[in-house]
Amino acid sequence: MANYDVIVIGAGPAGYHAAIRAAQLGLKTAVVEKWLNKEGAPAYGGTCLNVGCIPSKALLEASHKFVDARDNYGEIGIRISAVEADIPAIVAKKDEVVANLTNGVAGLLKSNGVTAYEGSAKLHTGRQVTFTAHEGNTQELSAENIIIASGSVPVEIPPCPMTGDLIVDSTGALDFQSAPSRLGVIGAGIIGLELGSVWSRLGSEVVLLEALEGFLPAADKQIAKEAAKQFRRQGLEIRLCARVTGTEINASKVTVSYSDAEGDKSEDFDKIIVAVGRRPYTEELLAADSGVILDERGFIFVNEICLTDAPGVYAVGDAVRGPMLAHKGIEEGIMVAERIAGQMPVVNYDLVPSVVYTHPEIAWVGMTEEDAKATGEDYQVGTFPMAASGRAMANNETAGMVKVVADSATDRILGVHIIGHQASEMIAEAVIAMEFGASAEDIGLTMFAHPTLSETIKEAALSVDNEAIHI
Protein backbone atom coordinates (compact mmCIF):
# COMPACT_ATOMS: atom_id res chain seq x y z
CA MET A 1 0.00 0.00 0.00
CA ALA A 2 1.29 3.44 -0.98
CA ASN A 3 1.10 5.95 1.87
CA TYR A 4 0.93 9.75 1.61
CA ASP A 5 0.50 12.80 3.76
CA VAL A 6 -2.20 14.07 1.41
CA ILE A 7 -4.27 12.45 -1.32
CA VAL A 8 -6.35 14.80 -3.47
CA ILE A 9 -9.25 13.26 -5.38
CA GLY A 10 -9.80 15.35 -8.47
CA ALA A 11 -7.38 17.57 -10.41
CA GLY A 12 -9.66 20.42 -11.41
CA PRO A 13 -8.81 23.96 -10.25
CA ALA A 14 -9.58 23.22 -6.58
CA GLY A 15 -7.79 19.88 -6.61
CA TYR A 16 -4.60 20.70 -8.47
CA HIS A 17 -4.10 23.93 -6.52
CA ALA A 18 -4.52 21.97 -3.28
CA ALA A 19 -2.07 19.29 -4.43
CA ILE A 20 0.59 21.72 -5.60
CA ARG A 21 0.33 23.86 -2.46
CA ALA A 22 0.54 20.78 -0.22
CA ALA A 23 3.66 19.64 -2.07
CA GLN A 24 5.18 23.12 -1.78
CA LEU A 25 4.70 22.87 1.98
CA GLY A 26 6.72 19.66 2.13
CA LEU A 27 3.85 17.17 2.30
CA LYS A 28 4.08 13.90 0.38
CA THR A 29 1.16 14.38 -2.00
CA ALA A 30 -0.75 12.37 -4.59
CA VAL A 31 -3.63 13.31 -6.85
CA VAL A 32 -6.18 11.02 -8.52
CA GLU A 33 -7.84 12.22 -11.73
CA LYS A 34 -10.25 10.24 -13.93
CA TRP A 35 -10.87 12.76 -16.73
CA LEU A 36 -10.40 11.58 -20.31
CA ASN A 37 -10.40 14.08 -23.16
CA LYS A 38 -12.19 13.75 -26.51
CA GLU A 39 -9.38 11.53 -27.78
CA GLY A 40 -9.70 9.24 -24.76
CA ALA A 41 -6.41 10.40 -23.24
CA PRO A 42 -6.01 11.38 -19.56
CA ALA A 43 -6.31 15.13 -19.00
CA TYR A 44 -5.95 17.38 -16.00
CA GLY A 45 -7.77 20.59 -15.10
CA GLY A 46 -11.28 19.21 -14.60
CA THR A 47 -14.39 20.82 -16.02
CA CYS A 48 -12.98 24.34 -15.98
CA LEU A 49 -10.00 23.73 -18.24
CA ASN A 50 -11.50 20.99 -20.40
CA VAL A 51 -15.15 21.88 -21.02
CA GLY A 52 -15.95 24.93 -18.90
CA CYS A 53 -14.34 28.25 -18.06
CA ILE A 54 -11.47 28.15 -20.54
CA PRO A 55 -13.00 26.78 -23.75
CA SER A 56 -16.14 28.90 -23.32
CA LYS A 57 -13.99 32.04 -22.96
CA ALA A 58 -12.04 31.12 -26.09
CA LEU A 59 -15.31 30.88 -28.03
CA LEU A 60 -16.69 34.05 -26.45
CA GLU A 61 -13.56 36.01 -27.36
CA ALA A 62 -13.40 34.72 -30.94
CA SER A 63 -17.11 35.31 -31.56
CA HIS A 64 -16.92 38.83 -30.08
CA LYS A 65 -13.92 39.74 -32.26
CA PHE A 66 -15.80 38.47 -35.30
CA VAL A 67 -18.86 40.63 -34.58
CA ASP A 68 -16.69 43.62 -33.68
CA ALA A 69 -14.80 43.37 -36.96
CA ARG A 70 -17.98 42.82 -38.98
CA ASP A 71 -20.22 45.44 -37.38
CA ASN A 72 -18.18 47.96 -35.42
CA TYR A 73 -14.79 48.55 -36.97
CA GLY A 74 -16.28 50.95 -39.50
CA GLU A 75 -17.24 53.27 -36.64
CA ILE A 76 -13.57 53.80 -35.83
CA GLY A 77 -12.44 54.14 -39.43
CA ILE A 78 -11.29 50.61 -40.16
CA ARG A 79 -12.76 49.16 -43.35
CA ILE A 80 -12.90 45.38 -43.64
CA SER A 81 -14.81 43.54 -46.30
CA ALA A 82 -16.05 39.97 -46.41
CA VAL A 83 -15.50 39.15 -42.74
CA GLU A 84 -16.28 35.48 -42.23
CA ALA A 85 -16.38 33.17 -39.25
CA ASP A 86 -14.64 29.86 -39.86
CA ILE A 87 -16.37 27.93 -37.10
CA PRO A 88 -14.33 24.70 -37.36
CA ALA A 89 -11.16 26.80 -37.11
CA ILE A 90 -12.55 28.69 -34.10
CA VAL A 91 -13.37 25.41 -32.37
CA ALA A 92 -9.93 24.01 -33.27
CA LYS A 93 -8.23 27.05 -31.71
CA LYS A 94 -10.34 26.52 -28.60
CA ASP A 95 -9.12 22.93 -28.45
CA GLU A 96 -5.51 24.09 -28.84
CA VAL A 97 -5.88 26.45 -25.87
CA VAL A 98 -7.39 23.65 -23.78
CA ALA A 99 -4.60 21.21 -24.69
CA ASN A 100 -1.90 23.73 -23.81
CA LEU A 101 -3.40 24.42 -20.41
CA THR A 102 -4.19 20.83 -19.44
CA ASN A 103 -0.69 19.77 -20.43
CA GLY A 104 0.57 22.69 -18.38
CA VAL A 105 -1.24 21.43 -15.28
CA ALA A 106 0.28 17.97 -15.75
CA GLY A 107 3.70 19.62 -15.93
CA LEU A 108 3.09 21.68 -12.80
CA LEU A 109 2.06 18.61 -10.81
CA LYS A 110 5.18 16.77 -11.94
CA SER A 111 7.58 19.65 -11.31
CA ASN A 112 6.20 20.06 -7.79
CA GLY A 113 6.69 16.38 -6.99
CA VAL A 114 3.01 15.40 -6.88
CA THR A 115 2.39 11.74 -7.71
CA ALA A 116 -0.42 11.47 -10.27
CA TYR A 117 -2.78 8.52 -10.53
CA GLU A 118 -4.92 8.39 -13.67
CA GLY A 119 -8.21 6.67 -12.98
CA SER A 120 -10.95 6.69 -10.36
CA ALA A 121 -10.90 6.68 -6.57
CA LYS A 122 -13.24 5.34 -3.89
CA LEU A 123 -12.85 6.57 -0.31
CA HIS A 124 -13.24 4.11 2.57
CA THR A 125 -13.09 4.54 6.34
CA GLY A 126 -9.77 5.40 7.88
CA ARG A 127 -8.69 7.51 4.88
CA GLN A 128 -8.15 4.43 2.74
CA VAL A 129 -8.55 4.89 -1.01
CA THR A 130 -9.09 2.23 -3.65
CA PHE A 131 -7.60 3.47 -6.91
CA THR A 132 -8.81 1.91 -10.16
CA ALA A 133 -6.73 2.71 -13.24
CA HIS A 134 -8.37 3.25 -16.61
CA GLU A 135 -7.04 -0.16 -17.63
CA GLY A 136 -8.96 -1.77 -14.75
CA ASN A 137 -6.18 -2.73 -12.31
CA THR A 138 -6.63 -1.60 -8.70
CA GLN A 139 -4.31 -0.36 -5.98
CA GLU A 140 -4.82 0.57 -2.34
CA LEU A 141 -3.65 3.99 -1.16
CA SER A 142 -3.76 5.67 2.22
CA ALA A 143 -3.08 9.12 3.61
CA GLU A 144 -3.15 11.11 6.80
CA ASN A 145 -5.39 13.60 5.01
CA ILE A 146 -7.80 13.34 2.10
CA ILE A 147 -9.02 16.30 0.04
CA ILE A 148 -12.09 15.59 -2.11
CA ALA A 149 -12.26 17.88 -5.13
CA SER A 150 -14.56 15.86 -7.36
CA GLY A 151 -16.30 18.84 -8.99
CA SER A 152 -19.70 18.97 -10.63
CA VAL A 153 -21.59 17.93 -13.75
CA PRO A 154 -24.45 19.54 -15.71
CA VAL A 155 -27.95 19.01 -14.37
CA GLU A 156 -30.18 16.96 -16.63
CA ILE A 157 -33.94 17.44 -16.64
CA PRO A 158 -36.51 14.79 -17.63
CA PRO A 159 -38.27 16.94 -20.27
CA CYS A 160 -34.97 17.32 -22.19
CA PRO A 161 -33.09 14.01 -22.37
CA MET A 162 -29.67 14.36 -24.00
CA THR A 163 -29.30 13.03 -27.52
CA GLY A 164 -25.61 13.81 -28.04
CA ASP A 165 -26.49 15.78 -31.16
CA LEU A 166 -29.77 17.69 -31.19
CA ILE A 167 -30.16 18.12 -27.42
CA VAL A 168 -26.85 18.79 -25.69
CA ASP A 169 -25.46 20.12 -22.44
CA SER A 170 -22.86 22.85 -22.08
CA THR A 171 -20.08 20.45 -23.10
CA GLY A 172 -21.77 19.56 -26.37
CA ALA A 173 -22.40 23.23 -27.12
CA LEU A 174 -18.65 23.88 -27.25
CA ASP A 175 -18.14 21.64 -30.28
CA PHE A 176 -20.77 22.67 -32.82
CA GLN A 177 -19.12 22.73 -36.24
CA SER A 178 -21.67 25.17 -37.61
CA ALA A 179 -24.13 27.62 -36.16
CA PRO A 180 -27.65 26.15 -35.85
CA SER A 181 -30.19 28.24 -37.73
CA ARG A 182 -32.46 28.31 -34.69
CA LEU A 183 -31.05 27.50 -31.26
CA GLY A 184 -33.02 27.03 -28.05
CA VAL A 185 -31.27 27.45 -24.71
CA ILE A 186 -33.00 26.07 -21.63
CA GLY A 187 -31.90 28.36 -18.81
CA ALA A 188 -30.88 32.03 -18.92
CA GLY A 189 -28.30 31.88 -16.16
CA ILE A 190 -24.59 32.51 -16.61
CA ILE A 191 -23.88 29.40 -18.69
CA GLY A 192 -26.95 29.85 -20.87
CA LEU A 193 -26.19 33.52 -21.53
CA GLU A 194 -22.55 32.86 -22.39
CA LEU A 195 -23.25 29.98 -24.77
CA GLY A 196 -26.27 31.73 -26.23
CA SER A 197 -24.10 34.79 -26.89
CA VAL A 198 -21.45 32.71 -28.68
CA TRP A 199 -23.84 31.11 -31.13
CA SER A 200 -25.93 34.23 -31.62
CA ARG A 201 -22.79 36.08 -32.72
CA LEU A 202 -21.86 33.24 -35.06
CA GLY A 203 -25.21 33.31 -36.82
CA SER A 204 -27.88 31.50 -34.79
CA GLU A 205 -31.29 32.86 -33.91
CA VAL A 206 -31.21 32.25 -30.14
CA VAL A 207 -34.17 31.88 -27.81
CA LEU A 208 -33.51 31.48 -24.07
CA LEU A 209 -36.28 29.84 -22.04
CA GLU A 210 -35.97 30.68 -18.34
CA ALA A 211 -38.34 29.20 -15.76
CA LEU A 212 -37.68 31.93 -13.18
CA GLU A 213 -39.66 35.16 -13.09
CA GLY A 214 -36.62 37.39 -12.59
CA PHE A 215 -33.61 37.78 -14.87
CA LEU A 216 -30.21 37.08 -13.28
CA PRO A 217 -31.64 37.06 -9.75
CA ALA A 218 -28.19 36.87 -8.12
CA ALA A 219 -27.17 40.19 -9.66
CA ASP A 220 -28.16 43.67 -8.55
CA LYS A 221 -31.56 44.40 -10.11
CA GLN A 222 -30.45 47.65 -11.73
CA ILE A 223 -27.50 45.88 -13.34
CA ALA A 224 -29.66 42.92 -14.40
CA LYS A 225 -32.17 45.27 -16.03
CA GLU A 226 -29.40 46.96 -18.00
CA ALA A 227 -27.98 43.56 -18.98
CA ALA A 228 -31.32 42.33 -20.29
CA LYS A 229 -31.65 45.49 -22.38
CA GLN A 230 -28.18 45.01 -23.88
CA PHE A 231 -28.72 41.32 -24.66
CA ARG A 232 -32.07 41.90 -26.31
CA ARG A 233 -30.50 44.66 -28.37
CA GLN A 234 -27.96 42.07 -29.57
CA GLY A 235 -30.76 39.80 -30.75
CA LEU A 236 -31.01 37.36 -27.85
CA GLU A 237 -34.67 36.55 -27.19
CA ILE A 238 -35.10 36.03 -23.42
CA ARG A 239 -38.41 34.56 -22.27
CA LEU A 240 -38.98 34.51 -18.54
CA CYS A 241 -41.46 32.31 -16.65
CA ALA A 242 -41.08 29.77 -19.46
CA ARG A 243 -41.09 26.29 -17.95
CA VAL A 244 -40.13 23.51 -20.37
CA THR A 245 -42.46 20.51 -20.14
CA GLY A 246 -41.21 18.25 -22.92
CA THR A 247 -39.24 17.74 -26.12
CA GLU A 248 -39.87 15.70 -29.24
CA ILE A 249 -37.42 14.85 -32.01
CA ASN A 250 -38.86 15.29 -35.51
CA ALA A 251 -36.29 14.35 -38.17
CA SER A 252 -33.56 16.96 -37.66
CA LYS A 253 -35.64 19.32 -35.51
CA VAL A 254 -36.50 19.46 -31.84
CA THR A 255 -39.98 20.52 -30.80
CA VAL A 256 -39.94 22.07 -27.34
CA SER A 257 -43.11 22.30 -25.29
CA TYR A 258 -43.27 24.89 -22.53
CA SER A 259 -45.73 26.89 -20.48
CA ASP A 260 -45.66 30.58 -19.62
CA ALA A 261 -48.09 33.21 -18.39
CA GLU A 262 -50.03 32.91 -21.63
CA GLY A 263 -50.46 29.14 -21.43
CA ASP A 264 -48.99 26.10 -23.19
CA LYS A 265 -46.78 26.64 -26.24
CA SER A 266 -44.43 24.73 -28.52
CA GLU A 267 -41.62 25.75 -30.88
CA ASP A 268 -39.17 24.08 -33.23
CA PHE A 269 -35.40 24.41 -32.96
CA ASP A 270 -32.44 22.97 -34.82
CA LYS A 271 -30.60 22.32 -31.57
CA ILE A 272 -31.21 22.66 -27.86
CA ILE A 273 -28.67 23.50 -25.16
CA VAL A 274 -29.71 22.50 -21.65
CA ALA A 275 -28.07 24.95 -19.22
CA VAL A 276 -30.12 24.72 -16.04
CA GLY A 277 -27.22 24.51 -13.62
CA ARG A 278 -24.77 21.96 -12.24
CA ARG A 279 -24.79 19.41 -9.45
CA PRO A 280 -22.01 17.93 -7.29
CA TYR A 281 -20.30 14.89 -8.74
CA THR A 282 -19.85 12.13 -6.17
CA GLU A 283 -20.89 9.00 -8.11
CA GLU A 284 -18.90 5.91 -7.07
CA LEU A 285 -16.69 8.13 -4.92
CA LEU A 286 -17.76 7.30 -1.37
CA ALA A 287 -17.93 3.83 0.15
CA ALA A 288 -20.73 3.21 2.63
CA ASP A 289 -18.24 3.35 5.49
CA SER A 290 -16.43 6.52 4.37
CA GLY A 291 -18.04 8.65 7.08
CA VAL A 292 -18.60 11.49 4.62
CA ILE A 293 -22.13 12.93 4.80
CA LEU A 294 -24.07 14.40 1.87
CA ASP A 295 -26.80 16.98 2.32
CA GLU A 296 -30.25 16.78 0.71
CA ARG A 297 -28.93 18.33 -2.53
CA GLY A 298 -26.00 15.96 -2.85
CA PHE A 299 -23.33 18.38 -1.64
CA ILE A 300 -20.69 17.06 0.73
CA PHE A 301 -21.32 18.51 4.17
CA VAL A 302 -18.33 20.51 5.46
CA ASN A 303 -17.65 23.04 8.19
CA GLU A 304 -16.17 26.52 7.78
CA ILE A 305 -12.69 25.11 7.02
CA CYS A 306 -14.01 22.47 4.58
CA LEU A 307 -13.62 19.53 7.01
CA THR A 308 -16.17 16.73 6.54
CA ASP A 309 -17.65 14.53 9.27
CA ALA A 310 -14.89 11.99 8.60
CA PRO A 311 -11.66 12.73 10.52
CA GLY A 312 -8.90 14.03 8.28
CA VAL A 313 -11.16 14.21 5.22
CA TYR A 314 -11.78 17.60 3.58
CA ALA A 315 -13.88 18.57 0.58
CA VAL A 316 -13.55 21.67 -1.60
CA GLY A 317 -14.86 23.28 -4.76
CA ASP A 318 -18.10 22.49 -6.56
CA ALA A 319 -18.72 19.43 -4.38
CA VAL A 320 -19.43 21.62 -1.33
CA ARG A 321 -21.71 24.53 -0.40
CA GLY A 322 -21.28 27.95 -1.92
CA PRO A 323 -21.06 29.22 -5.48
CA MET A 324 -19.76 26.79 -8.09
CA LEU A 325 -16.89 29.00 -9.19
CA ALA A 326 -13.35 27.91 -9.98
CA HIS A 327 -11.76 30.73 -7.99
CA LYS A 328 -13.79 29.86 -4.89
CA GLY A 329 -12.62 26.25 -5.17
CA ILE A 330 -9.01 27.35 -5.71
CA GLU A 331 -9.00 29.38 -2.51
CA GLU A 332 -10.59 26.51 -0.59
CA GLY A 333 -8.01 24.04 -1.93
CA ILE A 334 -5.10 26.27 -0.94
CA MET A 335 -6.65 26.98 2.47
CA VAL A 336 -7.05 23.27 3.24
CA ALA A 337 -3.47 22.46 2.15
CA GLU A 338 -2.15 25.19 4.40
CA ARG A 339 -4.39 24.07 7.27
CA ILE A 340 -3.01 20.55 6.98
CA ALA A 341 0.50 22.02 7.13
CA GLY A 342 -0.34 23.79 10.40
CA GLN A 343 -1.17 27.25 9.12
CA MET A 344 -4.42 29.08 9.93
CA PRO A 345 -5.82 30.69 6.75
CA VAL A 346 -9.53 31.27 6.12
CA VAL A 347 -11.60 31.94 3.01
CA ASN A 348 -13.64 35.14 3.01
CA TYR A 349 -16.91 33.90 1.55
CA ASP A 350 -18.38 37.40 1.70
CA LEU A 351 -16.06 38.53 -1.08
CA VAL A 352 -16.40 35.92 -3.82
CA PRO A 353 -16.60 37.80 -7.13
CA SER A 354 -19.07 36.67 -9.79
CA VAL A 355 -18.63 37.29 -13.52
CA VAL A 356 -20.76 36.77 -16.61
CA TYR A 357 -18.39 36.77 -19.62
CA THR A 358 -20.87 38.11 -22.14
CA HIS A 359 -20.44 41.39 -23.97
CA PRO A 360 -20.74 43.62 -22.12
CA GLU A 361 -19.38 41.67 -19.19
CA ILE A 362 -21.17 41.66 -15.84
CA ALA A 363 -19.28 41.41 -12.56
CA TRP A 364 -20.11 41.93 -8.94
CA VAL A 365 -18.92 41.36 -5.40
CA GLY A 366 -20.55 41.85 -2.03
CA MET A 367 -24.07 43.05 -1.35
CA THR A 368 -26.58 44.12 -3.96
CA GLU A 369 -28.75 47.13 -3.28
CA GLU A 370 -31.57 44.68 -2.55
CA ASP A 371 -29.38 42.88 0.00
CA ALA A 372 -28.53 46.17 1.69
CA LYS A 373 -32.18 47.19 1.80
CA ALA A 374 -33.13 43.85 3.35
CA THR A 375 -30.73 44.42 6.27
CA GLY A 376 -32.74 47.46 7.36
CA GLU A 377 -29.56 49.52 7.69
CA ASP A 378 -29.12 52.84 5.93
CA TYR A 379 -27.04 52.72 2.79
CA GLN A 380 -26.05 54.98 -0.08
CA VAL A 381 -25.57 54.26 -3.75
CA GLY A 382 -23.27 55.81 -6.30
CA THR A 383 -23.38 55.09 -10.03
CA PHE A 384 -21.34 56.12 -13.03
CA PRO A 385 -22.14 55.39 -16.69
CA MET A 386 -19.51 53.98 -19.01
CA ALA A 387 -20.74 56.49 -21.58
CA ALA A 388 -19.13 59.26 -19.49
CA SER A 389 -15.70 57.57 -19.48
CA GLY A 390 -13.11 58.98 -21.88
CA ARG A 391 -11.39 55.59 -22.19
CA ALA A 392 -14.69 53.83 -22.86
CA MET A 393 -15.44 56.35 -25.61
CA ALA A 394 -11.98 55.90 -27.11
CA ASN A 395 -12.49 52.12 -27.02
CA ASN A 396 -15.94 52.43 -28.64
CA GLU A 397 -17.28 50.51 -25.63
CA THR A 398 -19.70 52.83 -23.88
CA ALA A 399 -22.39 50.35 -22.80
CA GLY A 400 -22.90 49.79 -19.09
CA MET A 401 -22.23 51.35 -15.71
CA VAL A 402 -20.54 50.95 -12.33
CA LYS A 403 -22.54 50.89 -9.10
CA VAL A 404 -21.17 51.19 -5.57
CA VAL A 405 -23.23 50.40 -2.47
CA ALA A 406 -21.88 51.85 0.79
CA ASP A 407 -22.95 51.97 4.44
CA SER A 408 -24.41 55.41 5.24
CA ALA A 409 -22.94 55.54 8.74
CA THR A 410 -19.43 54.20 8.13
CA ASP A 411 -19.08 54.79 4.36
CA ARG A 412 -17.67 51.26 4.14
CA ILE A 413 -18.18 49.66 0.74
CA LEU A 414 -20.80 46.92 0.89
CA GLY A 415 -20.87 45.92 -2.77
CA VAL A 416 -19.64 46.85 -6.23
CA HIS A 417 -21.50 45.98 -9.43
CA ILE A 418 -20.25 46.51 -12.98
CA ILE A 419 -21.66 45.97 -16.44
CA GLY A 420 -19.33 46.98 -19.21
CA HIS A 421 -16.21 46.20 -21.20
CA GLN A 422 -13.54 44.47 -19.08
CA ALA A 423 -15.79 44.25 -16.02
CA SER A 424 -14.15 40.91 -15.20
CA GLU A 425 -10.78 42.65 -14.79
CA MET A 426 -12.10 45.74 -13.01
CA ILE A 427 -13.95 43.82 -10.30
CA ALA A 428 -10.62 42.71 -8.76
CA GLU A 429 -10.03 46.31 -7.67
CA ALA A 430 -13.28 46.23 -5.74
CA VAL A 431 -12.47 42.87 -4.15
CA ILE A 432 -9.08 44.14 -2.96
CA ALA A 433 -10.56 47.36 -1.61
CA MET A 434 -13.31 45.55 0.26
CA GLU A 435 -10.86 42.95 1.60
CA PHE A 436 -9.07 45.80 3.34
CA GLY A 437 -12.30 47.37 4.57
CA ALA A 438 -12.15 50.41 2.28
CA SER A 439 -14.71 53.17 2.35
CA ALA A 440 -16.14 54.92 -0.69
CA GLU A 441 -14.05 57.92 0.36
CA ASP A 442 -10.89 55.75 0.33
CA ILE A 443 -11.56 54.87 -3.30
CA GLY A 444 -12.32 58.49 -4.09
CA LEU A 445 -8.99 59.60 -2.58
CA THR A 446 -7.02 56.95 -4.51
CA MET A 447 -5.11 58.05 -7.63
CA PHE A 448 -6.13 56.14 -10.73
CA ALA A 449 -4.26 56.24 -14.01
CA HIS A 450 -5.97 58.33 -16.70
CA PRO A 451 -7.50 57.46 -19.06
CA THR A 452 -8.60 54.02 -17.86
CA LEU A 453 -11.82 52.13 -17.48
CA SER A 454 -10.93 51.70 -13.80
CA GLU A 455 -11.58 55.38 -13.25
CA THR A 456 -15.28 54.57 -13.48
CA ILE A 457 -14.99 52.78 -10.12
CA LYS A 458 -13.49 55.93 -8.58
CA GLU A 459 -16.23 58.09 -10.09
CA ALA A 460 -18.95 55.73 -8.83
CA ALA A 461 -17.39 55.83 -5.35
CA LEU A 462 -17.32 59.63 -5.47
CA SER A 463 -20.93 59.56 -6.61
CA VAL A 464 -21.93 57.95 -3.29
CA ASP A 465 -21.58 61.44 -1.77
CA ASN A 466 -22.50 63.32 -4.96
CA GLU A 467 -18.88 64.24 -5.63
CA ALA A 468 -18.37 62.63 -9.04
CA ILE A 469 -16.65 65.00 -11.46
CA HIS A 470 -17.83 63.77 -14.84
CA ILE A 471 -21.59 63.45 -14.30
Q: Which of 64, 124, 327, 450 is catalytic?
A: 450
Respond yes or no: is residue 450 known to be catalytic: yes
Q: In angstroms, rounded to a whole number, what is the distance separating the alpha carbons of residues 84 and 69?
A: 10
CB 397 within 8 A of CB 420: yes
DSSP assignment letter at 136: S
Max intra-chain CA distance, the chain = 69
Find the radius of gyration of the CA atoms of the chain: 24
How many angstroms separate the Cα of 310 from the Cα of each of 126, 319, 336?
8, 15, 15
Residue 204: exposed, middle, or buried by beta-carbon count in 10 A (0-12, 13-18, 19+)? buried
Q: In angstroms, rounded to a whole number, what is the distance separating the alpha carbons of residues 339 and 103?
A: 28
Q: Sort residue 238 into left (φ over 0), alpha (ψ -120 to 50) or beta.
A: beta
In 3-state terms the chain splits into helix, strand, coil percentages (rounded to 5) of 35, 30, 40
DSSP assignment letter at 298: S
User: Which H/E stretch holds residue 382?
Assistant: strand 379-385
Q: In angstroms, rounded to a whole number, what is the distance separating the alpha carbons of residues 121 and 35?
A: 12
Active site residues: 450
